Amino acid sequence: MKPAFDLKEVQKIRKDFPILGLEVHGKSLAYLDNGATTQKPLAVLNSLEEYYRQYNANVHRGAYYLSEKATEAYEGVRPKVCKFLGTSKTSEVIFTRGTTDALNLVCSSWGSENVKAGDEIVVTRMEHHSNFVPWQALAKRKGATFTVVELDSQGRLDLESLKKVLDRKPKILAITLMSNVLGTINPIREISLMAKEAGALVVVDGAQGVGHLPVNIGDLGHIDFFAFSSHKMCGPTGVGVLWGKEEVLDKMPPYQYGGDMILSVEDQLTRWNELPWKFEAGTPNIADVIAFGAAIDYLFDLDRAKIHAYETELTQKALDRLLRVPGLKILGPHTVEQRGAAVSFTLPQIHPHDLATYLDHQGIAVRAGHHCAQPLLKKLGVVASTRASFYFYNLPEEIDRLGTALEGALEYFGVKA
Amino acid sequence: MTQELDALYKDIILDHQKSPRNFGTLPDADVLREGFNPMCGDHIFLELKYSADRKKISACRFRGEGCSICMASASIMTEEVAGESVDFALREIAAFRELMKGTKLPDDFEGDIEALAGVRKFPVRIKCALLAWTTLKDALEHGTEDGNFTKTE
């Protein structure tokens, strides 16, 4: 493993994120809700402003300077995404509104064409609603079976159960790279190779992992689709990527219809544009895609291996500190192996919403609720939990503040051990 | 700790949360209504027993799981409306909504309701306080005819 950032480096990195200097309720902000969205560095903010100030124009259309410049910048992000994912074909990179949109694209387009009554669609217990509900709805629409693979007591996928399900030759396996609640990182390579042997389409939700771990599509075994969002990796909201295998994308019908996705239109016949534009109907989110490119450059410069190493240190510290808080229970693995920097927990007798309000008044921003993973929380027997999720700009002292504040909350709400 | 936070978590609120009044089920209830807040998972069941002429709420109980604001608000509400007329309850619900919106002042209220006024400073928590009241409104106006499921706005 590469050496992690030292504190001096992190302090320097923090200067790239103006928002981190904010005060909230008179306390300096400790932003620990990075699983929901990350903050944006100056490079991204500047990129947005530069586009709107200096070359705002529609893409793929006008034969004039501004439009050419905008098109070049917009299309220039595709090779960056390829480099980021370790792939080579820009035809395989489709810009979407986000992960949810990307997953819905696969579900509507590939699903409507290929899933039939009696087929089986498989997801896991740890999926976010965005990689659960579309498949459940598709299964209902088609009369297919919808199967949820369970987890072990540590919150890791039960590979033996998965193997049994795969023996039935399901049509689709939709699985997350990293759980947004448990922090669990799935062994996608091992899983996808098994699923491919069973003949399943493998769809990976990369939203939680991709800005934190060095992701290389080639290292993920044999996957067909990989979906992720810009805003969870320093980029703007409203942009995501669907990476898909060219031969699979080629055979799929369009997802939405309109401008930009066509080659020619006649009264009774339209010919679709080639990849990737076949799947990008309408004027795209030009400014945000370009700024997403700036986010990718930023992460490349920092080095994702170092980011992961530093986040692992933070996670270790968070697990150690939180487990010392009386009565606190961590949902998910208690060790950092194959685990990311999202740590969900419950405190006795304090509802996560009350806790989040209390922490907010200490300047600490965390997520409280069901984390868009109701089937998982129900299975774990909790209505809601609190989640602290870290990024490379978080400081060890912010974890100390969190630990102290949690103990303060126990006292404030009069919880007796 | 900030004054604002103390104004939210008054002792009365925490007391209602720790020992909720009218908590449980009504075996011979006329209406059972479910209330749910999809954003945070607050979830309550409200049961009502009417007088013979249906003009009075003779008993009102709730159960469920939620944050302290949600549970305390439900507890306080059941105390307010149990034994009162349906008309009174509807007026109280309207007044409480105005208190949360800030168009009515806490001075207009008596008793434990006033303690909930601190919620107004916490916009995201207003729906927690309103869940029980919205569920009661639907129970009184629709019974269970419109699907028996209330969701906070």
pLDDT digits (tens, 9 = 90+) for B24-38: 999 999 999 999 988
Residue B109 pLDDT: 81
pLDDT band at A296 (very low <50, low <70, confident <90, very high): very high
User: Residue A410 in contact with residue A347, Cβ under 8 Å?
Assistant: yes
Average pLDDT of the segment spanning B124-132: 94
pLDDT band at B126 (very low <50, low <70, confident <90, very high): very high
Residue A417 pLDDT: 65
Q: Is A26 on the interface with B (CB under 8 A)?
A: yes
Query: Which region among A13-17, A111-115, A132-136, A369-373 has the lowest average model confidence (pLDDT)?
Result: A369-373
pLDDT band at B102 (very low <50, low <70, confident <90, very high): confident
In three-state form (DSSP H/G/I as H, E/B as E, the rest C), the secondary structure along chain A is CCCCCCHHHHHHHHCCCHHHHCEECCEECEECECCCCCCCCHHHHHHHHHHHHHCCCCCCCCCCHHHHHHHHHHHCHHHHHHHHHCCCCHHHEEEECCHHHHHHHHHHHHHHHHCCCCCEEEEECCCCHHHCHHHHHHHHHHCCEEEEECECCCCCECHHHHHHHHHCCCCEEEEECECCCCCEECCHHHHHHHHHHCCCEEEEECCCCCCCCCCCHHHHCCCCEEEEEHHHCCCCCCCEEEEECHHHHHCCCCCCCCCCCEEEECCCCEEECCCCHHHCCCCCCHHHHHHHHHHHHHHHHHCHHHHHHHHHHHHHHHHHHHCCCCCCEEECCCCCCCECCEEEEEECCECHHHHHHHHHCCCEECEEECCCCHHHHHHHCCCCEEEEECCCCCCHHHHHHHHHHHHHHHHHCCCCC
Find the closest chain A residue to B123 by CA distance.
A357
Distance CA A356, CA A367 (A): 7
Nearest to B95 by CA among B123, B61, B130, B66: B130
pLDDT band at A79 (very low <50, low <70, confident <90, very high): very high
Distance CA A92, CA A88 (A): 9
Q: Is B5 on the interface with A (CB under 8 A)?
A: yes
- pTM of the entire structure? 0.94
Residue of A33, A383, A387, A415 best to disrupt the B interface, most CBs of B under 10 A: A383
Residue B143 pLDDT: 83
State the complex-level ipTM.
0.89
Average pLDDT of the segment spanning A288-298: 98
- Collapsing DSSP states into helix, strand and coil, what is residue B143? coil
Residue A222 pLDDT: 97
> Contact B14/A351, CB-based, under 8 Å?
no
Active site residue A234: no
Distance CA B33, CA B52 (A): 20
Q: Is B104 on the interface with A (CB under 8 A)?
A: no
Residues 9-38, chain B, touching A (beta carbon < 8 A): 9, 14, 18
Two tokens at A386?
């609190």
Longest dimension (CA), chain A: 74
Find the CB nearest B14 among A26, A361, A414: A414
Find the closest chain B residue to A368 by CA distance.
B40
> Contact A369/B65, CB-based, under 8 Å?
no
Which residues in chain A touch residue B18, judged by CB atoms under 8 angstroms apart? 414
Assess whether pLDDT exceeds 80 at residue A395.
Answer: yes
Q: Is B67 on the interface with A (CB under 8 A)?
A: yes
Nearest to A174 by CA among A219, A143, A218, A207: A207
Find the CB nearest A369 among B18, B39, B122: B39
Residue B73 pLDDT: 97
> Contact A383/B65, CB-based, under 8 Å?
yes
pLDDT band at B152 (very low <50, low <70, confident <90, very high): low
Residue of B4, B5, B15, B71 best to disrupt the A interface, most CBs of A under 10 A: B5
Distance CA A155, CA A179 (A): 9
Residues in chain B: 153
Average pLDDT of the segment spanning A311-338: 97
Assess whether pLDDT exceeds 60 at residue A281.
Answer: yes
Beta bridge partners of A345: A330, A386
pLDDT band at A383 (very low <50, low <70, confident <90, very high): confident
Find the CB nearest A353 among B1, B14, B128: B128
> Contact B67/A413, CB-based, under 8 Å?
no
Q: Is A352 on the interface with B (CB under 8 A)?
A: yes
B110 vs A147: which has the higher pLDDT: A147
First-to-last CA distance in chain B? 30
Q: Is B7 on the interface with A (CB under 8 A)?
A: no
Find the CB nearest A353 among B5, B18, B67: B67
Beta bridge partners of B149: B34
Q: How far B6 CA lies from chain A's nearest CA (Å)?
A: 10
Per the prediction, chain B carries an average pLDDT of: 91
Which residues in chain A touch residue B1, judged by CB atoms under 8 angstroms apart? 361, 412
Residue A3 pLDDT: 87
Query: Which region among A98-102, A137-141, A370-374 has the lowest average model confidence (pLDDT)?
Result: A370-374
Residue A371 pLDDT: 87
> Contact A369/B41, CB-based, under 8 Å?
yes
pLDDT band at A385 (very low <50, low <70, confident <90, very high): very high
Residue B1 pLDDT: 57
Two tokens at B34?
């479910």
Q: Is B63 on the interface with A (CB under 8 A)?
A: no
pLDDT band at B149 (very low <50, low <70, confident <90, very high): confident
Average pLDDT of the segment spanning A362-371: 94
Which residues in chain A touch residue B127, judged by CB atoms under 8 angstroms apart? none
Q: How far B89 CA lies from chain A's nearest CA (Å)?
A: 28
Q: What percent of chain A has pLDDT over 90?
A: 97
